[in-house]
Amino acid sequence: MNSSTSALSPNVSVLIAADPYSFAAQTIADAAKTAVESRGKFTISLSGGSTPKKLYELMASPEWASKIPWNKTEFFWGDERYVPSSDSSSNFHMTQQAMLSKVSVPPERVHRVLTEKEANEAAALYDQEIRRVVPTGPDGVPVFDMMLLGLGTNGHTASLFPYQPGLHEKTKLVFAEEIDEVKMTRLSMSVPLINAARQIVFLALGDDKASVIRDVVTGPFDPERLPAQLVRPSQGELLWIVDSASAAKLPEGIAQPAQ
């Protein structure tokens, strides 16, 4: 990834899905099955924003709900807006409305950011909760089974925004930061935690994402400007789930049709 040639790293794939939400749901269901069979539970970090809402609604639908091991899944969020959890801009709130309120998830398996606390305390508590629930890898960093990410048109992912100090956070798993660009405090998982995941999935759809996907995936490495380029799995796989619109500006040979 991020090479000047068109070849992707062997652990990176870009798949164009005719039905990206079903494909993403199947990807999650498959990862969950493998995780539960081999480790007894499935740990997933969810993305926020608008793109995943339809995915979460689909996962809670009668067609898919039976395919997700809800009672063995530990739900976290890759980032959160520093607003009350009842606020309409909260990623937890969006997920609760779209999915969690419609399925039977034991409340102790839903790990929201405690935004009622002071921001840095909320980040430290989330860091502790992740360490309590998510098994760590050889380097002491918790290893999520699935890290679902979105991509902003400015190249941000989670709440890793261009030119922000948080891009360089190497020790904390979670940090709070005032984001100038959106004029709000955000909490975000750090790059080392994101990159430790077994499977990282970007779900980036629509023609407004076509340029940024091309720049992130095939453009020069410029992570201050394009923080999503910092997402490089240390051990796992990176999958981009795109649609024909968001893949439209990728050079030949980069994206393959999803099977």
Beta bridge mates, 241:
15, 203
Among 2, 90, 91, 96, binds ligand 6PG (CB under 6 A): 91
Strands (DSSP E) along the chain, which ranges? 12-16, 42-46, 73-77, 79-81, 146-149, 174-179, 184-189, 199-204, 237-242, 255-257
Site string for ligand 6PG, 145-174 (x = CB under 6 A): -----xxx---xxx----------------
**CA dihedral in degrees (96, 99, 100, 102; nearest 10)?**
120
Least Cβ distance, residue 53 to ligand 6PG (angstroms): 8
Which residues, including other chains, have CB under 8 Å from residue 251's CB and lie 6 or more apart?
6, 214, 218
- CB closer to ligand 6PG out of 36 and 83: 83
Which residues, including other chains, have CB under 8 Å from residue 11's CB and lie 6 or more apart?
233, 236, 237, 238
Segment contacting ligand 6PG (CB under 6 A): 27-35, 41-49, 57-65, 120-128?
41-49
- CB closer to ligand 6PG out of 106 and 163: 163
CA distance 215 to 232: 15
Q: Which two tokens stand for residue 248?
A: 């439209």
Binding status of residue 48 toward ligand 6PG by CB under 6 A: yes
Among 9, 50, 234, 235, binds ligand 6PG (CB under 6 A): 50
Beta strands 79-81; 184-189: pairing state: antiparallel
Binding status of residue 49 toward ligand 6PG by CB under 6 A: yes
- CB closer to ligand 6PG out of 19 and 37: 19
Least Cβ distance, residue 148 to ligand 6PG (angstroms): 9
Identify residues 226-255 at the interface with ligand 6PG (CB under 6 A): none
Binding status of residue 199 toward ligand 6PG by CB under 6 A: no
CA distance 238 to 151: 14
Among 2, 27, 45, 51, binds ligand 6PG (CB under 6 A): 51
Least Cβ distance, residue 208 to ligand 6PG (angstroms): 8
Among 43, 45, 47, 96, binds ligand 6PG (CB under 6 A): 47
CA distance 184 to 116: 15
Least Cβ distance, residue 215 to ligand 6PG (angstroms): 15
CA distance 245 to 12: 20
Least Cβ distance, residue 252 to ligand 6PG (angstroms): 26
Q: Summarize as ranges the residues that interact with ligand 6PG (CB under 6 A).
A: 47-51, 79, 91, 150-152, 156-158
